[in-house]
Amino acid sequence: MSRISSAIKTFSLWDLLIGLRVTLRNFFVKKVTVQYPEEKTPQSPRFRGLHALRRYHNGEERCIACKLCQTVCPAAAITIESDVADNGTRRTTRYDIDLFKCIYCGFCEEACPTDAVVLTRIYEYHMEEPGQNIMNKDKLLALGDKYEGMIASDRTTDAPYR
Amino acid sequence: MNQDKCTIEINGVEVEARPGQMLIEVTDAHDVYVPRFCYHPKLSVAANCRMCLIEVENVPKPLPACATPVAPGMKVRTRSRRAIDAQRSVMEFLLINHPLDCPICDQGGECELQDLAMGFGRDVGRFSEGKRVVRDQDMGPLVSTDLTRCIHCTRCVRFTQEVAGIQELGTIGRGDRVVISSSIEQSISQTVDHELSGNLIDVCPVGSLNSKPYRFSARAWEMQQRALVAGHDCLGSHIFAHVMDGRVKRVVPDACENINETWASDRDRFSYEGLYADDRLDAPLLRENGNWRSVSWPEALAAAAAGLQERAGQGLAALVSPSATLEEGYLLQRLMAHLGSNSIDHRLRRRDVRGQADEPGVPWLGMPVAAVEKLDQLLIVGSNLRKEVPLLAHRVRKAAVAGAGIGFINPADFPVFFPVASTMTGSPDDFWLALATLVRAAAGDGELPAGMAGLLAQAPEPQAHHHQLVARLRDGTRAAIFLGQIAQRHPRFADIDVLAATLARLTGASLGYISEGANAVGLALAGVLPHRGPGGKPRATPGASACEIIGSPPPGLLLFGIEPEFDCAAGSGPARSAGDGRFVVACSAYGSESLLAMADVILPIATWFETEGTFVNAAGRWQSFAAAARAPGEGRPGWKVLRVLAEQLGAKGFRYPDAGAIASELRGLCSDGLPDALAHARLPVAQAPVAGSIGLSELDVPIYRIDALVRRATALQQTVDGRAGAPPAAAQGA
């Protein structure tokens, strides 16, 4: 008996049909595939992507060169040099983040007393030349200026839970 | 029961204490920590911060530990509910007006208030009213102010009163409107100008007074702390260099009770700025057809060795900075001996070497530094003491405040901030005649010391105050006579020295020398003298001394760590003209204009911040240190440069593995102990002095012009002393 049924199953490709049944069923199930880059997955406001440095509304840099982010960074990705600015305040003369070293843990943002360094929701970026992995102060401030709307609204959304 | 000791109980443990001692001293001695802000072991007790409140049994209220004297049988609790509650409440009050700006405060990370707030502060403030803001004051180029952070402990005020000796800071206002200010009567310039004012930075427990040159350039936790010996004066103060990324960021004092206590002079604290001056050399330089070219070390060394070798037979001389390390001095001395010359000297500002054969081999203080404050009679001859060795002046001040009679014989009435028993001033040419008068007074009616008649004939008749001073010196149980740097630079130093030695002998006082540079004692031991070899042993054939070398430079010249136009007595250094056939090798950290004009090869060497080495201080203490930072570019430690140069010149036995090997070799050549300055009788020198008149400006080198490093320290040059000492040309340019 078992030999006959086994032969039938073998020649009728029964196991294949059983398998194809899953395939057939999925033809009619709602699709979960995201058609990146045309479509994108939804993001949490807490998403930790590319870094940025923010400014106050009057255009003044928020960063005060306290070096807490550099100190807390577990990957030693941040390098800061500080000095007295022309107006007598404490300011950075250099603020570099090495994106190859960064592990996107977000400790820098947590440590920042002025909400100057933030991780934005930007995750689409690449480098073509050696050295482009170093985000210097100008690049970080430019990112902050460009995405201030997104950064501010994300912080507002998340504020009740902090 | 023993009168000096009693037993008290601290936190249930019985300890011994002295009745009348403050409780905080007892708790500190037994490792029981009581929080404090205003208490400082070197300052008087103010008891105004109230942080050290503790509970004493049978006393209704908590008492401040810093101002409560020990009484027998006291039962003290420092960690009881009541004590902790009192301390926490005081902390809450202190934090009411303290800004939350730790992230931008240079004190952040090393702040006593921050530390204690972690232990005694509440995590949430209850104070919702407006905070007080205080306007900052410009206190000069060294100390920055953020007076809003002040907690009114008045340590700074007490420091200026009790240690500096002139009250440059005071409190203005009452209650919560108290502000620390330099706008008080005694501070005319409204800046802190005292040569110890940098210590305000250390005594301030919060970030109210901070270092201006260091401001905002690093955080406390990023730097490495490396121990050094300060190289600007003969005390050899212990300091720490704080280094980040191989650069010295700031200097702070290291506690050494026998030398600098807990203080550092401004010159030691802020001179590091000169390390990174624009004219710091980062590669060897070689002159070719009148033009300078950066070359590699082998090329520069080969050129230097060839030039020196060629002139070895015609005459060679070396001028060495009095702040060169012992190792550098010893190697140079050996190198010159190999080249057949005894003309090597570090006494660059000396004008008179007539009596050098009879002088003590090593010009030292004659006593440990700490013993100076125990003196009861002190006569200082030819010294602008506060500017020459600021922390020695502090020791003398302590002695004076304790009641010692301090006398000065000076070419000008240099201000000092302590009671002075007698000051005798005269013209720069003959102020020292007062010393001759004192010798006459000391000799009395008896016979004048043999051979002294000629010298004493010029002296005026002794007056009553001369006799009093001699009597005081005679009566003092610990009396001393110090010869300062002005005396040593004087064209009649040989006479001054003989007179001082005679007076010391007649009165029973000891004789000491306040030597120039960091290592004059060490270099004398190393044999960097034309008339004495290593260990202070006389040379058979003395070479030319510094003033003779400068006056008539030999064909070959080696300059080590000096800038001839500033570091030499004549004011210009050895003359040089194009095509004179001379060959000058300069080992220098800086390519100054004068060196570029006169040298043929310049070898970049490390400063004392960047080399391992040894300084012997004025009290004869050997102090070795390791490099705190790296010399920029191709700069190398001087002893390594000399080691290679000697090898190239074919000298044997220069393969020392490290600087320690050089120092220990020299140590073997030095007999135990330094010579007594009065070991043998001295007679006036027969040779006539150099004729001519001398001005005060030639004798007194300004405090911040003393060596190449300090001349480049920008903040120090902006101080009142720095501006006063600037050369006329620079002052016009500025």
Contact between chains at B216 and A90 (C-beta distance less than 8 A):
yes
Distance of residue B615 Cα from the nearest chain A Cα, in angstroms: 34
- Which of B210, B219, B221 best tests the A interface by mutation, with the highest count of A CBs <10 A? B219
- What contacts B433, CB < 8 A, 6 or more positions away? B426, B458, B459, B460
Q: Are B663 and B326 in contact (CB under 8 A)?
A: yes
Most B CBs within 10 A among A89, A90, A92, A112, hence the mutation to make, goes to A90
Calculate ∠ Cα B126-B128-B133, nearest 5°: 115
Nearest-CA distance from B280 to chain A in Å? 22
Interface residues of A toward B, Cβ cutoff 8 Å, are 64-68, 71, 82-84, 89-91, 113-114
The pLDDT value recorded for residue B673 is 76
CA gap B13, A39 in Å, rounded: 74
Question: What is the residue whose two structure tokens read 């190198």?
Answer: B335
**pLDDT value for B731:** 42
For residue B730, name the pLDDT band (cuts at 50, 70, 90).
very low
Which positions of chain A have pLDDT values less than 50?
none
Chain A residues in contact with B214 (beta carbon < 8 A): none
Nearest-Cα residue of chain B relative to residue A113: B103
Q: Which one of A64, A84, A113 has the shortest CB-CB distance to B215?
A: A84
Asked if the Cβ–Cβ distance from A64 to B218 is below 8 Å, we say no
Q: Supply the pLDDT for residue B308.
A: 94
Residue A67 to residue B219, Cβ atoms within 8 A = yes
Percent of chain B with pLDDT over 90: 79
Cis ω on the peptide bond leading into residue A37 (within 30° of 0)? yes
**What confidence tens digit (pLDDT) does each residue in B624-670 have?**
999 999 999 999 999 999 999 999 999 999 999 999 999 999 999 98
Closest-CA residue of chain A to B222: A71
Chain A residue closest in CA terms to B105: A66
Token pair of B526 as six digits? 């190393």
Q: Nearest C-alpha of chain B: how many angstroms from A38?
A: 44
Cβ contact, residue pair B217, A67, below 8 Å: no
Residue A115 to chain B, least CA–CA distance (Å): 13
Cβ–Cβ of A66/B221 closer than 8 Å? no
Contact assignment for B216 to A84 by CB distance below 8 Å:
yes
- pLDDT score, position B734: 35
Residues of B in contact with A89 (CB under 8 A): 104
User: Quick one: closest CA in B to A94, which residue?
Assistant: B217
Position B1 pLDDT exceeds 60: no
DSSP H or E segment with residue A98: strand A90-98
| Global confidence as pTM | 0.92
Show residues of chain A in contact with B104, CB under 8 Å: 64-66, 89-90
pLDDT, tens digit, 9 for 90 and up, residues B464-496: 999 999 999 999 899 999 999 999 999 999 999
Residue tagged 């209850």 (tokens): B126
Q: Which residue of B has its CA nearest to A81?
A: B217
Confidence of residue B729 (pLDDT cuts 50, 70, 90): low
What pLDDT does B106 receive? 95
Q: How many CB pairs under 8 A join A and B?
A: 28
Tens digits of per-residue pLDDT, B630-643?
Answer: 999 999 999 999 99
Distances (CA, A) of B24 to B4, B72, B78, B157: 18, 15, 10, 21
Tokens standing for residue B33: 């920590």
Please give the ipTM for the structure prediction: 0.85
What is the rounded average pLDDT of the residues B337-343? Answer: 94
Confidence check: pLDDT of B355 > 50: yes
Nearest CA distance, B85 vs chain A (angstrom)? 30
Tell me the shortest Cα–Cα distance from B239 to chain A, in angstroms: 24
**Would the pLDDT of B732 be above 50?**
no
Q: 3-class SS at A97?
A: strand
Label each residue of B637-666 as H, E or C.
CHHHHHHHHHHHCCCCCCCCCCHHHHHHHH
Q: Are B431 and B409 in contact (CB under 8 A)?
A: yes
